[in-house]
Structure 1
Amino acid sequence: MNAQLLARYELFRTRDLEEAREQVGRILSPHRLTSPNPRAAFDVRYQYVNLGDTSVMYAEYGGDVVIDPGALESFYLVGMPQAGKTLVHIAGQDIVSRPGYASVQSPTRPLRTTWLDGCRKLTVKIDRCALERHLAQLLGRPLDRPIEFEPLMNVERGPALSWRHMVDFLLSELSGNSALIATPEARRRIEELLMNALLTIQPHSYSDALTTPAGSAAPACIRRVEDYIAANPFQALTLQTLSQVAGVSPRSLQEGFKRYRGVSPIAFVTERRLELARRTLQEGRPHDSVTEVALRCGFFHLGRFAQSYKVRFGETPSETFRRASGRSR
């Protein structure tokens, strides 16, 4: 990729690694940035454009560097070297990413990358919550675990070549004044296309479920329980109560939810209430608190709520509420 394609979106350029670390930490996450050759003459360049739930960036350091952010937590990265290579150590697995071979970095897996041989890289960042929402819509049910991708993607041939073509198209549109991405709705459509393609093309922890998605074929008793859960978001719900609503035995209801929704009825309730809690916290109402929201949404063990919330959304309830409260002032 020609670096000039994103030249109009230059974020910064510096020869100071510490300044680069601080600048990149603002758009990605705090991290350690070191070099095996600290006396090298670095020339760090970052170009960055945010579309909403996704961002595209071009980066080069002008020398070998080691970047250690740990777990990314709140976003995915698809890194495509245009020159040089990146050694990626992710959750105990080592891969080599070079031109034609992208690295796919999942937020729940600890990560360390080493940029070598004049590495220049194009990276697509995807918000974790947005990708999880998109997959849940495709599956027709809530997720019960994080999405974790296989870390290496061949973008030279096969299905993943389509991903690269989509990114190339997006770059060409960004480099000009294209009306195609001038509106929020148009950008949202492109983001959905990128997320859908990544989930379809690159193997991940839900790939099998995507090939046989649960959805509209669910029997009436399952849909009846789902409607009841939606209509009673604050009521204490037990398996016995839900089986009475469904008109089937608790065991039959368990088996039905596992078959058609991939989770147990109680896990389905928990997921819906986590989503409700997040929406409420994102409103940032001044008289609310994390404790009050948790209790209203049916979470009476606050420590367990905070842990489940962070696993699901990549941040604590307090972080969500604090950010929303700051916006509402």
Structure 2
Amino acid sequence: MAALPLERFELFRSQDLDETREIVGRIFCEHRLDLAGRDHRLDARMHSHRLGQIVANFMWYGGDVYIEPGLLDTFYVVQIPLSGRSVVHCGNKEVYSTSAIGSVISPTEYLRQRWSPDCQQIIIRIERTALQAHLRDILGVPLWEPLVFEPEFRITDGPAASWVRWCHALIHELEQPEGLIFNEYVARQAEYTLMSGLLAAQRHNYSEFLEEKKLPVVPSRPVKTAREMIDAHPEWSHTVQSLAGYAHVSERTLQAGFNEVLQTGPKAYLTDVRMQRAHQELYAAAPGTTTVSTVARRLGLNHVGRFAAEYKRRFGELPSETLRR
């Protein structure tokens, strides 16, 4: 049998439905997973590797399954079929997915789907905050509504086919133990390329506005520079002074730039990124491998009591509850 994509990053292989549901949920979100056919057979496997704000995955259930995550909420998903078929219900639209048609799922659209036993897919997870911030930087104005893609992704020709080739190239690089993709600067550029490419390749509610602009506009280079530093290293002890120094502007200029471009200050943006990263890490952690205080302190959220209260306000549950799931 030929090597499967991302095989060196195998996360699990299981014939147990509950175990499969639980581990897949760590990478994506809690979801309903049922065997749907007469043959109640399952031979699931998943390979997964995070690259900053993007997670590349290979998924194969090895059985006829019904999957219902509901609202993804914090991330986008691009599903690239390699074999088999699936029926994807996204919001009020239905996609019959084959080797020629993938799907792009937006976090605000209710998702349910059914996969055939031979359905194998590359699944690219992109964090909602990162993709929407990237679009905001290109447009040069705040987003006035959530970014929502058309779910049907025709991947055999045109820009969509080009984007899929980039994904395969990225996966090929990830499979090389000493590939350049593991260089932090190269990895960051790869993230931006995939996000820009998806915004150009697939129709969404901002497409017409993007097409009217002759060139991408970076509204504030100091803001972009400081934001990239925060996104790459939220665990560092950033201050407005240190970020302004890194961006080669005064603190007042940086503060004004953040308020104009992002409608928030550098400190608040840093807190947002740290809280989102804490939520992701707690959700993905295997039981018994970490603690809430360890995750919080590693991300610079040193007052654990305050962190827990803010976490519950944002995510509707205590961080300890997320960790136990």
Same fold (TM over 0.5): yes
Distance 2:6 2:218 in 1: 43
**What residue is the counterpart of 1:318 in the other structure?**
314
Q: Shift of residue 178 of structure 1?
A: 3.9
Note if contact 1:141-1:215 (Cα within 8 Å) is conserved in structure 2. no
Superposed CA deviations along residues 213-268 of structure 1, whole A, max 9, x for unmatched, are: 49589xxxxxxxxx9994499xxxxxxxxxxxxxxxxxxxxxxxxxxxxxxxxxx8
Q: Paired residue for 2:195?
A: 195
Is the 8 Å Cα contact of residues 61 and 119 (structure 1) preserved in structure 2? yes
For the 8 Å contact 2:32–2:68, the answer to whether it is kept is yes
Percent of aligned pairs with the same amino acid: 34
Instruction: From the superposition, tell whether residues 320 and 201 of structure 1 become closer, same or farther in structure 2 (CA, over 3 Å).
Output: farther
Q: How far 1:5 sits from its partner (Å)?
A: 3.3
Gaps of at least 5 residues in structure 1 are: 218-226, 234-267, 294-314
What's the counterpart of residue 122 of structure 1?
Answer: 122
What residue number does 2:156 align with? 156
Q: How is 1:59-208 mapped onto 2 (pairs within 5 angstroms)?
A: 59-208=59-208
Q: 1:124-182 CA distances to partner (integer Å, 9 max, x unpaired)?
A: 11111110111111111221211100101111111111111101111211122243112
Maintained 8 Å contact 1:74/1:129: yes
1:17 alignment counterpart: 17
Instruction: Kindly indicate whether the alpha-carbon contact (under 8 Å) linking 1:147 and 1:206 is maintained by their aligned counterparts in 2.
Output: yes
Q: What per-residue deviation string (whole Å, max 9, x for no partner) do you get for residues 292-325 of structure 1?
A: 99xxxxxxxxxxxxxxxxxxxxx975349976xx
Q: How many residues align?
A: 261
Deviation at 1:110, TM superposition (A): 0.6
SS in 2 for 1:159: helix
Give the TM-score taking structure 2 as reference length: 0.71
Per-residue CA deviation, residues 30-54 of structure 1 (Å, 9 max, x unaligned), is 0000122375221001011111110
User: What is the deviation of 1:196?
Assistant: 0.5
Secondary structure of the structure 1 residue equivalent to 2:4: helix
Structure 2: distance between partners of 1:89 and 1:272? 35
Helix, strand or coil for the counterpart of 2:118? strand
Amino acid at match of 2:270: R
Separation of aligned partners in 1, 2:60 and 2:154 = 21
Contact 1:104 1:151 in 2 (8 A): yes
Mark the CA change 1:228 to 1:54 in structure 2 (over 3 Å): closer, same or farther: closer
Structure 2: which 5+ residue stretches go unaligned?
220-251, 275-299
CA distance, structure 2, for counterparts of residue 157 and residue 232 of structure 1: 40
Whether contact under 8 Å (2:159, 2:200) holds in the other structure is no
Equivalent-residue separation in structure 2 for 1:116 and 1:130 (angstroms):
32
Task: Indicate the structure (1 or 2) with the bigger Cα radius of gyration.
Answer: 1
Does the 8 Å CA contact 2:200/2:207 hold for their aligned counterparts?
A: yes
The amino acid that maps onto 1:77 is: V
| Structure-2 residue corresponding to 1:264 | none
Instruction: Give the distance between the partners of 1:216 and 1:270, measured in 2 at CA.
Output: 10
